[in-house]
Amino acid sequence: MKYVITTGGVMSGLGKGITTSSIGRILKNKGYRVTAIKIDPYINIDAGTMNPFQHGEVFVLKDGGEVDLDLGNYERFLDTELTRDHNLTTGKIYKEVIEKERRGDYLGNTVQIIPHVTNEIKERIRSVALASGAEICLIEIGGTVGDIESMPFLEAARQMQREEAMQDLVLVHVTLVPVDCQGEQKTKPTQHSVKELRELGLYPNIIVARCTSALSLAVKEKIALFCDVPASAIVSAYDADDIYHVPLIFEKEGISDYLTKRFKLEKNDNKSRWRKLVERMDEIKEGGETISIAVVGKYTDLRDAYTSIRESLKHAGIACGCNVDIEWIDSENLNGTPEHVKKSLGEFDGILVPGGFGERGIEGKIDAIEYARTEDVPFLGLCLGMQLAVIEFARNVIGWQDANSSEFGETPHPVIGLLPEQYEVTDMGGSMRLGDYEAVLTEGSLAHRLYGSLKMVERHRHRYEVNPEYLDEFGSRGVVFSGKNMNRMEIVEIPSHRFFIGCQFHPEFKSRPENAAPLFRGFVEAALGRLSETA
């Protein structure tokens, strides 16, 4: 097994996840089986309870693992599916160590950070890498060098660097080269970051320098001199038009040649598919039609909260040959008169309402859904977005003005509620429907035409469901629940509408640059006015 360990310095948010994903894509282009592990030093067991404002999107894996959004980038770049074991946290590691101590596994020894915690970290990394069947394992250590919570993981990395053969492990350090007011690229932040890394016993093999423009040769040589890394192993990670350009930038910077030599890999290369993808994106950007999509949510001030939705719309745009211009609409500012809603949404080619938890902002989302339905604007509702579409129809078409979800309090018409079946029980005691579930689609429905099959599997993250007691009433008014998992409603659509579809699952989690999610692709096609050509 070969390992690529990525660390970061100077500041957070430099792009360790995109760096790791891009390196993985380069290695996959060479024909190697690649997997990835994200280490998050926070004490939470997983990302499931974390506020999107603090940590961005909670990405859900096929086995129901609620993880950091970087694993979404790994899956998209590598076109793979990971599991919850590919996300390590301080909480997971310490929980396992404490449980082993309580069972007596340590035979009375004093349990310490070294060797017990670091051994657990290394054991987890190696077992996940082995179980994946990969040849190369990418490991991203979250946070920055010097963070107190990262220390056990960095120490484990130091031990691995010592234990693995030189040709089997590469340490990549991502740092910052800012530009001063004179326009000069400054290397001191990188020098100090590498110095701090070396004080921990870790010696970088590759330095990825985040910068606004490519590093000059003189700057590379200066970093090489002070950081004891060959100039050929210093990579300019300059600002790109799109994250999918980064693997090609890294190729141009020579990282592929370094890895091939270091790992003693064959130089077989098949990056043509990825290059063609990027070339198609560039062609579309230059000459493609542009549509505008309103995403009506409550985390719009932090775009990372909707990373997978943004990327899925991009993937659909690539598949449909168009640019997708996204406008982020705060649902709390939308709730108002019909005139206000029309003024806010009247210029968009499509309206998307994403998932979420809690009552805040739902009335604005319901107003957006009503506008999409009555004005025949293409609409896509995800998870809570589907539930609110059901509530909107119950209120404004059936006439139950007090219809609501039991999540938001008592109501005489709980069209959304808890079903008696129990799903996965979380550590907080509540039951959640997480990960992959199969749905059976209605033959001839829009969902059937988009998926091209009568069965499909998508990922879920929710607790409440459409109440099956109300299905007859909805059916008599033209609503079709076209996807079902036993008595659980997976998809709702209004056939008389140009494109009105809601899904209880999250199709954005399985969308890929080269394989857009069917519902997103259909949504974008409808916004273009070309749906009949493809579905």
User: Which residue numbers are catalytic?
Assistant: 383, 506, 508
Q: What are phi and psi of 361, to 5 degrees?
A: 85, 0
Angle at 507 between CA 81 and CA 515, to 5 degrees: 65
Cα-to-chain-centroid distance, residue 141: 17
CA dihedral 116, 121, 124, 130 (to 10 degrees): -110
CA–CA distance, 385 with 366 (Å, rounded to integer): 9
524: part of which helix (H) or strand (E)?
helix 518-528
Where do runs of H (alpha helix) occur along 416-456?
Answer: 446-451
Q: Which residues have CB under 8 Å from 236's CB, separation 6+?
A: 209, 211, 214, 215, 220, 249, 253
Angle at 150 between CA 146 and CA 153, to 5 degrees: 125
34-40 and 87-89 strand pairing: parallel
Q: What are phi and psi of 313, to 5 degrees?
A: -65, -40
> Is the Cα torsion angle 3, 8, 13, 18 positive or negative in sign?
negative
Closest CA to 134 of 60, 28, 270: 28
296: part of which helix (H) or strand (E)?
strand 289-297
DSSP string, 34-69: EEEEEEE-SSSSSSTT--HHHH---EE-TT--EE-T
Q: Tell me the two tokens of residue 78.
A: 């590598």
261: part of which helix (H) or strand (E)?
helix 255-263
In which residue are the tokens 């130089």 written?
Answer: 267
CA–CA distance, 318 with 338 (Å, rounded to integer): 34
For residue 401, CA distances in Å to 8, 391, 464 come to: 53, 9, 20
- DSSP secondary structure code for residue 185 in this structure: B
CA dihedral 509, 512, 517, 518 (to 10 degrees): -160
